Structure 1
Amino acid sequence: MKTFEDKSRESYNRKADDYDNTAEGKFTVNFKKLLLEEIKIKPNNSILDVACGNGTFLKMLSKKCDIRGYGIDISERMIENAKKRCSDMTFEISNCDHTSFENQVFDVITVCAAYHHFPDVKAFAQEASRVLKPYGSIYIADVYYPFIIRAICNPFLPLSKAGDVKFYSPKEIISNFEAFGFKQAGFRREGYIQIIEMRRLS
């Protein structure tokens, strides 16, 4: 039986070469634009984009500020394309909760329109806490749906061929990271998009 990661890997390998022109690629553009408005970064910050896809968001960030960009994704083909798009950055094939990075190396972590794909969000929060520097921030930009929509959709979401797992409320996302030493530092919602900033405490 295929895992969520198996389904995601296969789905995004198929979409990778023309992702920006797919319906999903166009749908996620607004997530990237809104996150770009919200994120607070400084020159030479080390940024890890988790589920980075083809590197589009890191490329957008690099135009805003001189950064040291890193990206991980489980799709081999997405990583190949990200390396071409951002040749001066570092990319690895990796899942979200067991990375190869050393402790406390990143100033900022971003997740754009991918959190609902993560099979174990607690393990991810723990890994984020490990690789973030003290007082570093993680930004989760993900789909927002009211309770009734989540209640209807979530039981069927795991049947998705793209590896979707669950749509989360802001409270669920915040409490998950609080359990691993984070504190809420920002929140914004625009329609179906929510952006939550959590800051790692020392």
Structure 2
Amino acid sequence: MGKINYNDISKIYDDVRDEEMTIINSFLDEVKISETTKILDVGCGTGNYTSILQKITKAEVYGVDASEGMLEKAKEKNQHIILKVGLVTDIPFEDCIFDFLYMTDVIHHIKDIDKMFLEFYRVLKNGGKVCISTQSHRQIDLRYMSEFFPSTAIVDKQRYPDIEEIISSAKKNGFSFLKIEIISEGEEVELGNKFLELLEKKGYSMLHLISDEDYQIGLNRVKCEMKNGPIKRKSAGGTLVWLIKNEKM
């Protein structure tokens, strides 16, 4: 088992993470966005969501990420987004400037989510909304990756705070709970050569956290199932947790 180097993964990250219009559409439905709206993408990675949201809305979209390699990729996509290197628990922007803040598939990297929510509270305006895109522990068990690589479910349920833990931490640190959305769960997915190539490149972060033996066993399972062509599975889907900043904490 090893650590994840996101400067290295940034070279192939866009093979794994495409912008998901389901999530973008949820943003547009829940948040009133104009050209003067200030939006922060926390842990923006290579800027898929950041770029497409700015292009659709023409809003003032910002991104922060700890990986310079990821941000270099993001800059190539869109010169109109403002990007800074920084940590989720030490966001390099002023107090009370953002109307909306979102985080997609990042919270499992954060060791202190109480400190994270305090920082969100600091940079958001009163009444500002937060959307956290993640997976519940139930959805982790539903992943087809968990079928082929069972130990990834074990390590990821240790990394991912479950939904009630997220809501509890948010409430302690100045936010009110708005709603939960379950997205894309149960949709049929075809897994073909691209999926196999990504597995061989270890393009999924959880593959860096299991033993070499477990990785090889899982890879062989996939190859065996795919020997006659692509296979089909059901998507585990995701969970969107919606929150709003209270005026007083």
Name the TM tier (shorter chain): 0.7 to 0.9
Instruction: Output the TM-score relative to the length of structure 2.
Output: 0.67
CA spacing shift, 1:148–1:45, aligned 2, 3 Å: closer
Report if aligned partners of 1:154, 1:166 keep a CA contact under 8 Å in 2: no
Aligned residues: 183
CA contact (8 A) 1:51 1:71 kept: yes
Helix, strand or coil for the counterpart of 1:79?
A: helix
Alignment partner of 1:37 is 2:25: yes
Q: Percent identity?
A: 24
- Asked whether the equivalents of residues 51 and 81 of structure 2 are also in contact (C-alpha less than 8 Å), the reply is no
Q: Deviations over 1:10-63 (max 9, x none)?
A: 2x2112133211xx325xx4xx32221211241121111011011110112123
Is the 8 Å Cα contact of residues 102 and 131 (structure 1) preserved in structure 2?
A: yes
1:179 corresponds, among 172, 175, 180, to 172
CA RMSD after TM alignment: 2.5
Alignment partner, residue 16 of structure 1: 10
Cα distance change, pair 130–119 in 1 and its aligned pair in 2 (3 A): same
Conserved 8 A contact 2:54-2:81: no
8 A Cα contact 2:130 2:244, kept in partner: yes
The separation in 1 between residues aligned to 2:159 and 2:154, in whole angstroms, is 9
Over 3 Å counting, the alpha-carbon distance change for 1:154 and 1:121 in structure 2 is farther
CA distance in 1, matches of 2:137, 2:25: 21
Aligned equivalent of 1:168: 161
- Distance of aligned partners of 1:53 and 1:41 in 2 relative to their CA distance in 1, 3 Å threshold: farther
The change in CA–CA distance for 1:165 and 1:71 in structure 2 (over 3 A counts) is farther
Q: Aligned AA for 2:33?
A: K
Q: Deviations over 1:99-157 (max 9, x none)?
A: 2211101001110011111121111001000000000011000122329949x979952
Please identify the structure whose Cα radius of gyration is greater: 2
The separation in 2 between residues aligned to 1:148 and 1:48, in whole angstroms, is: 27
Q: State the distance in 2 between where 1:51 and 1:106 align.
A: 15
The yes-or-no answer on 1:99 pairing with 2:144 is no
Pairing partner for 1:108 from 92, 97, 100 = 100
Gapped runs of 5+ residues in structure 2? 143-149, 186-236
Give the TM-score, by structure 1 length: 0.81
Structure 1 runs of 4+ off > 3 angstroms?
147-150, 152-156
